Amino acid sequence: MYNRIMFYTVGLGNLGEEYKNTRHNVGWQALDFVCGQAHFPSLVKSAQYSGEVAEGIIADESVFVLYPDTYMNNSGSAVAKLVPRELTHKLVVLHDDIALPFGELRVSYGRGDAGHNGIKSIIEKLGTKDFSRIRIGIAPRSLLTGKAVRPRSGTPLERFVLKPFTKKELDKLAEVNERIYAALETIIKDGVEAAMNQHN
């Protein structure tokens, strides 16, 4: 079964109901949408891959999805069990980005972790930065500049990213998730450079 896998898509998040609708779990929420849109079968709990997994088809290619159950800071231990080192270029990670305003996304490849502990763990465990990412904005947007606004001085970043989305934001996530799915389709079908050109 697993030898046929052409692409690996991982959503980053934290296990538990208290984290379900928080900003830090937006990668899991996006992957939920992807699985639903592509009519993946039900997730299966896997001790082998330290998370919940499923296999389906996107853009006529086999795709294996993983929700690590290791918590964000140790995501790399699960990803390294799944993705062979010679196939990291087939990996796409969906994750939150505090440097982007809510509603925006960026496709990137080969970047550093930019302070994101989940990405840091993946880079360390895989021994490479050579994988694709769909970065999902979670920061407030400035009314003056339209750019991301960091949390107010004195507000710990960890507290902000673990806050739940507002009802208005959750409603907008449906449209954001559609764009994430389109970007993932482009990565799989045409490559990450095409996805950057079309979706950034």
- pLDDT value of residue 133: 98
Summarize the confidence of residues 168-194 as an average pLDDT: 95
pLDDT digits (tens, 9 = 90+) for 65-74: 999 999 899 9
Would you identify the CATH topology of the domain 2-199? Rossmann fold (3.40.50)
pLDDT of res. 4? 59
**Which pair of tokens denotes residue 103?**
């509603």
How much is the mean pLDDT over the chain?
90
24, 95, 116, 199: the active-site residue: 24
pLDDT of residue 62: 95
Is residue 1 predicted with pLDDT exceeding 50?
no
pLDDT tens by residue, 4-42: 568 999 999 988 888 888 888 999 999 999 999 999 999
Q: Would you say the pTM of this structure is higher than 0.85? A: yes
Closest listed residue to residue 56, CA positions, set 94, 92, 4, 107: 4
- Locate tokens 């994988």: which residue? 131
Q: Is 116 a catalytic residue?
A: no
Q: Tell me how far apart the alpha carbons of residues 72 and 157 are, in angstroms, rounded to a whole number.
A: 15
Where exactly are the structural domains of the chain? 2-199
Pair of tokens at residue 119: 């990405």
pLDDT at 2: 45
